[in-house]
Amino acid sequence: MTTRGARAITYAVVAVLAFAALHMTHPIARKPAELLAAEGRADAPPVVSDSVAAIAASSQKVDTLGVGETLSQVLTRGGLQGSDAALAVRSATTLDERRVPAGVEVTVTQAPGDSVPSEITLRFDVDHLLHLRRTATGWQSQEERLPWTTDTVVAVGTIRTNLYAALDSDAASVLPKTARAELAWKMADIFEYRVDMSRDLQVGDSFRALFERQVGPGGAVRVGQVLATTFVFSRDTSRAFRFTGASGTTGYFDAAGKSMRNAFLRAPLEFRRISSVFGMREHPILGGWKQHKGTDYAAASGTPVRAIGDAVVVIAGQAHGYGNLIELRHRNGYLTRYGHLRAFARGIRPGAHVSIGQTIGYVGMTGLATGPHLHFEVLVNGVQRDPRVALKSTGGDPIPSVDRSAFQALQGQLLAGLQTPPGTAVRLALQ
């Protein structure tokens, strides 16, 4: 045998043995990605659950219910046939399609490989969802309430122009803008029998508020209960504390234990900007300077006007320069006038009884008015008086004696909480 032939035979034998070894050896068992990840291996590939993968692969259409639209119309736009859309809506037994408000976000989800949508989600609020899901037996609905977390914090501010601006500049680190406006409204509501936030505040006045801050889905923030608040005015200090008595009634009381409620509200509109105050001014139509015996509240046409106290309607009709006028007679010789109204509220007519805070009419510009606003007057025993003086309150009914000690203890805790640095979580051992 030649050398070349021997070498060829050797190569052939090696090749046969290698082939046999490959086929007789068991394949190496590879660990699944889940086990590698559990061992903390850096080379582990990312683990994706079936549900997450399905959602990622699904297609979604996000739409909004328009004014005058029906929910079925939005769903049809999202890919459901008319009859199927109706069946989906009908599955939500707690839902009245006619009362779904415009602006509701509607998400239609279609799973991969499906020719029709498999899920519909209605977002009524940041924490309120309604899911409509297609099953083998038809559509099923499920409501979902997303959780909120609550802490207690302090916000402070100094008045430079108004309450809104003070919160915007001094409480930005504690609350987002919309929540700051909400806190301003709540404080104004607490003091509405003592302070007209539109005109009584002066530059340099300051405040502190102890309140519940609620954080919800997606980082949404809202203001819960205001527990205590202090306003330092140029002449005095006013405090309010939220207290629930033994009877279960909750209200706000001042440092002396008197209710913040009184016989009269300080303003006929809910915390609105005032265009002029009691005193001398140039009349916008007649020209020249004359005594302006009242206060003008600039507000959008149609803004509700409220009675500042319990009363009987004396006038509800046209009255020369006042335009549409309402005149209310209160106890103790007080009479109030509300002029330039666009319209009267239902049931407002001479002789009708109204209660404090009740809507009696709507801001307009009837009579001698250049723009929509409310002209407001207060008369005491027939004499026109400055509302800031005539409606000044010293407090309502005192706290019941049975609750006095509990109120004093709570007041001490709340005062201590008010001194906490802004934005720091406050721990209170409340009732």
The pLDDT of residue 428: 84
Quick one: which H or E segment has residue 173? none
Calpha distance 61→101 (Å, rounded): 19
Calpha distance 105→230 (Å, rounded): 40
Calpha distance 323→318 (Å, rounded): 5
How distant is the alpha carbon of residue 16 from its chain centre? 81
Residue 343 pLDDT level (bands cut at 50, 70, 90): very high
The proportion of the chain whose per-residue pLDDT surpasses 70, expressed as a percent, equals 81
CA angle 390, 395, 399 (to 5 degrees): 160
Calpha distance 189→97 (Å, rounded): 34
- Residue 28 is classified by DSSP as P
Quick one: which H or E segment has residue 379? strand 373-380
Segment of 55-69, 107-121, 268-282 carrying the highest mean pLDDT: 107-121
Calpha distance 40→24 (Å, rounded): 33
List, as own/partner pairs, every contact residues 327-333 make where C-beta atoms lie below 8 angstroms and the sequence separation is at least 24, other chains included.
328/354, 328/360, 330/263, 330/264, 331/263, 333/380, 333/381, 333/382
Q: Which domains does the chain have, with CATH numbers?
A: 58-145 (3.10.450.350), 147-262+396-431 (3.10.450.350), 274-390 (2.70.70.10)
Calpha distance 276→283 (Å, rounded): 10
Tens of pLDDT, residue by residue over 203-217, are 999 999 999 999 998
Predicted model pTM: 0.72
Residue 334: how many other CB atoms lie within 10 Å: 20
Quick one: which H or E segment has residue 230? strand 221-232
Residue 24 or residue 84, greater confidence: 84
Residue 241: how many other CB atoms lie within 10 Å: 26
Calpha distance 426→154 (Å, rounded): 8
Across the strands, what pairs with 230? 208, 239
Backbone torsions φ then ψ of 429, nearest 5 degrees: -95, 70
Calpha distance 272→296 (Å, rounded): 10
Across the strands, what pairs with 383? 380
Q: Mean of the per-residue pLDDT values for the chain?
A: 84
The pLDDT of residue 273: 56
How far from 392 is each of 191, 264, 375, CA to CA, in Å?
Answer: 12, 9, 19
Taking residues 76-89, what's their average pLDDT? Answer: 87
Calpha distance 337→377 (Å, rounded): 5
How far from 388 is each of 33, 154, 195, 333, 359, CA to CA, in Å?
Answer: 74, 30, 9, 17, 21
Burial call 80-108: b when 16+ CB within 10 Å, e when fewer = beeebbbebbebbeebeeeebeeebebbb
Tens of pLDDT, residue by residue over 346-374, are 999 999 999 999 999 999 999 989 889 99
Q: Is the pLDDT of residue 15 over 60?
A: no
Q: Is the pLDDT of residue 27 over 90?
A: no
Check the CA dihedral 239-243-245-249 and report its sign. positive
Question: Is the CB of residue 296 less than 8 Å from the CB of residue 324?
Answer: no
Helix (H, G, I), strand (E, B) or coil at 53: helix
Q: Is the pLDDT of residue 310 over 60?
A: yes
